């Protein structure tokens, strides 16, 4: 099923939230250590994905041009502004208390991120749910920590996560019907390698090794298709 990844991501959040209700006093050092280990594991997954490419020139051009576009558009800044607006909207409507706080905080953490976009695209174009399942595991652990602090409201964040990733996944499935099969096969390969580098950056950020504005790299995934289109004309 094309929405398997999005569904499992939401399910892991629900499971993690339930577990978090029974673990209220997790030491901060334990939380930090687990998050760093998760980050390193994600980085390894990114490395594994990024080495499977057919044409490195496409990858480097896509990353450089995509990053320039992303920095110019300041996508990372737009994500942050969106988060602030959503938080302000809920509070303006008097959605106060632990439930609202848990829902808002968790939703912003789980929804606003590059891994959700890259993973959902992978689910749509390749029916490969590895990234979303990996993200689900990360979100599951994070929901344990968040629920132990903010309460049961965290569990409600599974709904916007599923809807957000599901919409991107369904939209991505349409790409296969537009691009010729031979080109589509190479596009998947190059896009996965480019996405792998983004996942590597996400992992390093989670582990607090780097502070890369990964959202500003997202246009690289679109540039891959554009570069391949022009290379087909040459």
Residue 93: the pLDDT is 52
Helices 98-111 and 130-150 cross at an angle (nearest 10°) of: 160
What whole-number distance in Å separates Cα of residue 70 and Cα of residue 173? 24
pLDDT at 136: 94
pLDDT, residue 175, reads: 73
Residue 58 CB partners (closer than 8 Å, separation 6+): 190, 224, 227, 228, 231
Low-confidence ranges of the chain (pLDDT < 70): 82-84, 86-99, 101, 104-105, 108, 112-114, 176, 181
- Using DSSP, state whether 91 is helix, strand or coil: helix
Residue 204: its pLDDT value, please? 92
Mean pLDDT of the chain: 84
DSSP the chain: -TTHHHHHHHHHHHHHHHHHTT-----HHHHHHHHHHHHHHHHHHHHHHHT--S-HHHHHHHHHHHHHHHHHHTHHHHHHHHHHHHHHHHHHTT--SHHHHHHHHHHHHHHSSHHHHHHHHHHHHH---HHHHHHHHHHHHHHHHHHHHH-GGGGGGHHHHHHHHHHHHHHHTTHHHHS-HHHHHHHHHHHHHHHHHHHHHHHHHHTTS----GGGGTHHHHHHHHHHHHHHH-
CB distance 11 to 134 below 8 Å:
no
The tens digit of pLDDT for each residue in 29-61 reads 887 888 788 889 888 988 988 887 878 899 999
């Amino acid at each position: 099923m094309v929405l398997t990844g999005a569904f499992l991501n939401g399910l892991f959040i629900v499971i993690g939230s339930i577990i978090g209700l029974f673990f209220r006093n997790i030491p901060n050092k334990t939380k930090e250590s687990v998050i760093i280990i998760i980050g390193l594991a994600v980085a390894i997954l990114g490395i594994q994905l990024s080495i499977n490419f057919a044409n490195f020139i496409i990858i480097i051009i896509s990353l450089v041009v995509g990053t320039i576009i992303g920095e110019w558009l300041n996508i990372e800044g737009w994500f942050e502004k969106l988060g602030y607006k959503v938080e302000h909207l809920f509070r303006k409507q008097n959605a106060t208390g632990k439930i609202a706080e848990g829902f808002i905080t968790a939703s912003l953490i789980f929804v606003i991120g590059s891994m959700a976009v890259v993973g959902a695209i992978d689910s749509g174009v390749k029916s490969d749910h590895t990234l979303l399942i990996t993200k689900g595991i990360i979100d599951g652990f994070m929901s344990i920590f968040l629920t132990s602090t903010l309460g049961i409201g965290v569990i409600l964040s599974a709904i916007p996560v599923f809807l957000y990733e599901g919409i991107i996944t369904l939209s991505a499935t349409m790409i296969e019907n537009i691009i010729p099969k031979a080109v589509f096969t190479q596009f998947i390969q190059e896009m996965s390698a480019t996405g792998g580098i983004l996942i590597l950056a996400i992992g390093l950020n989670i582990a607090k090794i780097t502070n890369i504005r990964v959202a500003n790299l997202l246009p690289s995934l679109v540039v891959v298709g554009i570069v391949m289109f022009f290379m087909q004309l040459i």
